[in-house]
Amino acid sequence: MAVAPDGSVYITGQYGDGNPFLVKFDSNGTLIWQKTFGNGAFSRGVVVASDGSVYVAGGSFNDGVGQGDALLVKFSPSGALVWARTWGGPFSDTAHDVAIGTDGGIYIAGDTNSFAANDAFLVKFNPDGTVAWDRDWGTTNGVTSGQTAAFGVGTGPDGGVYITGNEFAIGSKKNIILVKFDGSGNLLWEKIGGPGFGAGLDVAANADFVYVTGNIVVDAPGATGGNAFVARYSPDGKAKDANAWGGNDNESGEAIAVAPDGSVVAAGFAGAPPYSFAHAAKTVKAPTSVLITPTGSVLPASGTVAAAAGTVGTPNGSQTFAGGGTDAMLIRVRP
């Protein structure tokens, strides 16, 4: 889900096993147009440029040269297909997220098996669809002899590009990764680790901080399930703080955004109650992404933000939900 400067909202997904779609609504929720594209393809993320161009990232099994290639598609504000590009090699390559930099470059991040065994990748495209540069990260630079994947990509006002995901070294645990590149593709710094098994799933940045959300399982006696987390770093890579939310089941932060006032919004899902949150939370219906509108409003990827039946808020921020099964969550953290 993405929002345009004029307040228009774009949603991407797929029908069945291989027919991705892109839908545009105006700021009042009126359907403007809907498009399907590709056959044997899927979409994972969408972003809108300042000129209104829309970019969708994912993967394709029918185009390109390999078993499956990363896919980037550009649409005009009116829904016209401008161009489609694949990136990859002889094996499986998938884009999991897309972002736009301050210079107008389009970045896709994901995982590749074509150029090294199970590496994360970052590719920068120009607005005309040409590749500016591409980078592998993981086994190619000796970080791990196992598997590395990038699940989220974000950009900062300083021109920096951040990817987050996880790495798994043979005989070790899955560690959260956060890596920063500059707009020319130079690796600036990398952070690997965490108190347990985990993955970073999305990243967002403003001038002051870089925020990562995902899930983590603490490697400690008696620990059960996984928790959603939000971690904060400075733009030069210094860890600042982190908070986790969850209970005895599985919780995960799937998407994150920074509002104009500096508050941070994370969306994801939560398992069986009771939950213990460091900050107040509201539930939404099936949020797989979250965005901030030009006015600073928070929008989940689907459904409407609403208090769930049986929700109880307490002064210390603890929340108990009585929905049962797996619930969605939306958490807002004040700066």
Quote the pLDDT of residue 193: 76
3-state secondary structure of 31: strand
Across the strands, what pairs with 70? 59, 87
List all residues 6 or more positions away from 241 whose beta carbon is below 8 Å from its beta carbon. 231, 232
Q: What are phi and psi of 84, to 5 degrees?
A: -135, 135
pTM (predicted TM-score): 0.81
Q: Give the residue-averaged pLDDT of 68-73.
A: 92
Residue 35 lies in a domain: yes
**Could you tell me the CA-to-CA distances from 205 to 7, 53, 160, 167, 263 in Å, in that order?**
21, 22, 9, 22, 11
Q: Among 291, 266, 279, which residue's Cα sits nearest to residue 318? A: 279
What are 91-121's pLDDT values in tens digits? Answer: 889 999 999 999 999 999 999 988 766 899 9
Q: How far apart are CA 45 and CA 40, in angstroms?
A: 17
Residue 174 lies in a domain: yes
Residue 33 lies in a domain: yes
Asked whether the predicted pLDDT for residue 295 surpasses 60, the reply is no
Quote the pLDDT of residue 279: 36
Quote the pLDDT of residue 273: 58
Beta strands in 119-209 (DSSP E): 119-125, 131-137, 147-155, 161-168, 174-181, 187-193, 196-205
3-state secondary structure of 139: helix
Q: How far apart are CA 123 and CA 111, in angstroms?
A: 11
Structural domain boundaries, residue 187: 2-193
Residue 109 lies in a domain: yes
Residue 257 lies in a domain: no
What are 268-282's pLDDT values in tens digits? Answer: 887 655 544 433 333
**Could you tell me the CA-to-CA distances from 335 to 189, 230, 262, 265, 332 in Å, in that order?**
25, 13, 6, 11, 10
Tell me the CATH number at 83. 2.120.10.30
248 versus 311: the higher-pLDDT residue is 248
Q: How far apart are CA 75 and CA 55, in angstroms?
A: 6
What are 180-197's pLDDT values in tens digits? Answer: 999 999 999 999 876 667
Amino acid sitting at position 113: N
Residue 85 lies in a domain: yes
Number of domains composing the chain: 1
Asked whether the predicted pLDDT for residue 319 surpasses 60, the reply is no
Residue 267 lies in a domain: no
Residue 64 lies in a domain: yes
Spatial contact of 33 and 13, defined as CB atoms under 8 Å apart: no
pLDDT band at residue 219 under the 50/70/90 scheme: low
- The percentage of residues in the chain with a pLDDT greater than 70, rounded to a whole number, is 71
- Which conformational region is residue 64 in: left (phi greater than 0), alpha (psi within -120 to 50 degrees), or beta? left
Q: How far apart are CA 204 and CA 295, in angstroms?
A: 18
